[in-house]
C-alpha cells in the first residue's frame, strides 16, 4: 500500500520530524521525505526511516519518485492538500484514492509513550493555570481581557520554553457565553466570572483544559466555586455534575455518542439543555482536535488508549458562560483524568 502526507502532524507521526514545506511518501518498505534545502540539515539528522530528498519543487520531485518506482495507486487525505497542489500531483498516471482523516485514524489509539507525553503536557498545563490564577488574583484586577489573554500566553509559554496548543481563551462574564470568545476591552473586577481555556505543547503533544471561576484575591482554578448569583451557581453545579458523571460512567466499548449523552442528560434535566451548544469532547494528541469526537452524531467505539476531552458547557447569551474541561485517557476500561 502506498500513501502520501503533507500535514505537519502527520509528517511528524510518520518520521519524527516535520517542516512547513515537505511531502512524505511511503510505498511498501520504501519511504521518502521530500523537502527543500532550508531543512536539509535537520531532516537528515532527525529522520531515520525515510530517504531525505532535497529539491526546489517538492511536488514535481514527488511525481518523479512515483513515476520511477511505478506506484500505480496511492492513498491521500484531501484535507491536507490545497486544490492547486493536488491538481499538480494528480496529473500523474498514479491513481490517488481519498482517505479522509487518514493520519488521525492511524493515531486514534495512543501508544503508552504518547500517553506519557500527553500526561506530562496536562501536568505542565495545570501548573500554568495555577500560575495564571495567582497573577490574575494579585495583578489582574483592572486589566482588560486582551491584557489578561496576553499575560496568560506569557505564563503558558514560560519564557519561550513551550508552544501553545491554541491561543488561550480568557473571557469575563457575558463574554464567556461565547464558546470561542475573542478577548475584548472588558475590564476584570473582583467578583466577576472568569473562564479560561488553554493548553500547552510538550514534545509536540497537546494539553487542553478549561476552568470557570469567581475572581477574588484568593481564587484558584478549582472545581469548587461559589458564585453570588443563584442561576450562575445552578448552571455551574450542573456543568460540574455533567463533567464528573461523564468521566465516571465512560467505559471502553461504549459508543462516543453514549458518553456525550451521559453529560447531555444531566444538563437537559436541569433545564439548560438548549444552552449546551457543542459536543462533549474531542480527541487530543499531536493536534488539539483529532479523533475520537465525543458527539451525539458519532457512533465511533471508544477503546482503551484513546485520549479525549470531556468539556460540557452552558452558554446563555448576554449573561454568562460555564465550561469545565479535562483531558482523559481510557485505561483498563475506564476514564482517567490526565495531569493529576
| Helix orientation angle between 230-249 and 256-269, rounded to the nearest 10 degrees | 150
Residue 308 contacts residue 111 (beta carbons within 8 Å): no
Let me know whether 135 and 248 are in one domain.
Answer: yes
Let me know whether 98 and 163 are in one domain.
Answer: no
Let me know whether 102 and 145 are in one domain.
Answer: no
Residue 241: CATH number of its domain: 3.90.230.10
pTM recorded for the entire structure: 0.95
Domain count of the fold of the chain: 2
Burial of 334 (0-12, 13-18, 19+ CB in 10 A): middle
pLDDT recorded at residue 90: 86
Let me know whether 168 and 67 are in one domain.
Answer: no
Residue 52 contacts residue 33 (beta carbons within 8 Å): yes
pLDDT recorded at residue 217: 85
The CA-CA-CA angle for residues 208, 155, 235, to 5°, reads 45
Of the residues 85, 106, 127, which one is the last residue of a structural domain? 106
Strand duo 205-206 + 2-5: pairing: unpaired
Let me know whether 257 and 278 are in one domain.
Answer: yes
Let me know whether 150 and 201 are in one domain.
Answer: yes
Residue 65: CATH number of its domain: 3.40.350.10
pLDDT recorded at residue 103: 98
The alpha-helical segments, DSSP class H, found in the chain are: 8-15, 40-46, 58-68, 83-89, 102-106, 112-135, 145-157, 230-249, 256-269
CA distances from 201 to 104, 120, 157, 208 (A): 18, 10, 9, 9
- Residue 37: count other Cβ atoms within 10 Å of its Cβ: 9
Residue numbers of the domain that contains 222: 112-337
pLDDT recorded at residue 330: 98
Let me know whether 163 and 35 are in one domain.
Answer: no
Let me know whether 185 and 242 are in one domain.
Answer: yes
Sole residue written with cell 526511516: 49
Let me know whether 332 and 204 are in one domain.
Answer: yes
Let me know whether 90 and 124 are in one domain.
Answer: no
What is the mean pLDDT for each group of 10 consecutive residues in the chain (340 residues)?
97 98 97 98 98 97 96 97 92 94 98 98 97 96 98 95 97 97 97 98 98 93 94 98 98 98 98 98 98 98 98 98 98 97
Let me know whether 86 and 143 are in one domain.
Answer: no
Phi, psi of 116 (to 5 degrees): -65, -40
Cα first-last separation, the chain: 41
Let me know whether 236 and 332 are in one domain.
Answer: yes
CA distances from 335 to 115, 163, 253, 279 (A): 13, 27, 12, 18
Of the residues 72, 106, 140, which one is the last residue of a structural domain? 106
Of the residues 106, 135, 162, which one is the last residue of a structural domain? 106
Residue 23 contacts residue 52 (beta carbons within 8 Å): no
Amino acid at each position: 500500500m502506498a500513501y502520501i502526507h503533507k500535514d505537519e502532524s502527520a509528517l511528524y507521526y510518520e518520521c519524527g520530524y516535520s517542516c512547513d514545506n515537505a511531502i512524505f511518501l511511503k510505498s511498501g518498505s520504501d519511504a521518502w521525505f521530500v523537502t527543500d534545502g532550508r531543512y536539509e540539515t535537520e531532516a537528515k539528522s532527525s529522520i531515520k526511516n525515510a530517504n531525505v530528498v532535497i529539491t526546489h519543487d517538492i511536488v514535481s520531485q514527488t511525481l518523479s519518485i512515483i513515476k520511477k518506482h511505478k506506484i500505480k495507486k496511492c492513498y491521500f487525505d484531501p484535507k491536507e492538500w490545497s486544490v492547486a497542489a493536488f491538481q499538480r500531483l494528480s496529473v500523474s498516471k498514479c491513481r490517488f484514492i481519498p482517505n479522509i482523516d487518514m493520519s488521525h485514524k492511524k493515531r486514534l489509539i495512543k501508544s503508552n509513550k504518547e500517553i506519557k507525553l500527553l500526561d506530562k503536557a496536562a501536568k505542565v498545563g495545570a501548573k500554568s493555570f495555577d500560575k495564571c490564577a495567582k497573577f490574575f488574583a494579585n495583578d489582574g484586577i483592572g486589566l482588560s481581557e486582551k491584557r489578561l489573554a496576553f499575560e496568560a500566553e506569557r505564563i503558558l509559554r514560560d519564557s519561550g520554553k513551550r508552544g501553545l496548543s491554541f491561543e488561550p481563551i480568557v473571557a469575563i462574564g457575558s463574554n464567556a457565553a461565547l464558546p470561542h470568545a475573542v478577548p475584548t476591552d472588558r475590564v476584570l473586577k473582583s467578583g466577576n466570572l472568569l473562564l479560561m481555556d488553554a493548553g500547552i505543547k510538550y514534545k509536540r503533544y497537546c494539553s487542553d483544559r478549561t476552568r470557570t471561576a469567581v475572581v477574588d484575591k484568593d481564587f484558584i482554578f478549582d472545581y469548587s466555586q461559589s458564585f453570588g448569583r443563584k442561576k450562575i451557581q445552578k448552571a455551574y453545579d450542573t456543568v460540574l455534575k455533567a463533567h464528573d458523571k461523564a468521566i465516571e460512567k465512560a467505559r471502553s466499548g461504549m459508543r462516543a455518542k453514549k458518553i456525550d449523552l451521559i453529560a447531555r442528560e444531566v444538563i437537559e434535566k436541569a433545564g439548560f439543555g438548549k444552552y449546551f451548544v457543542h459536543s462533549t469532547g474531542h480527541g487530543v494528541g499531536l493536534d488539539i482536535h483529532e479523533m475520537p469526537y465525543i458527539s451525539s452524531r458519532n457512533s465511533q467505539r471508544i477503546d482503551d488508549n484513546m485520549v479525549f476531552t470531556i468539556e460540557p458547557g452552558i452558554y446563555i447569551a448576554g449573561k454568562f458562560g460555564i465550561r469545565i474541561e479535562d483531558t482523559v485517557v481510557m485505561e483498563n476500561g475506564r476514564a482517567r483524568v490526565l495531569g493529576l
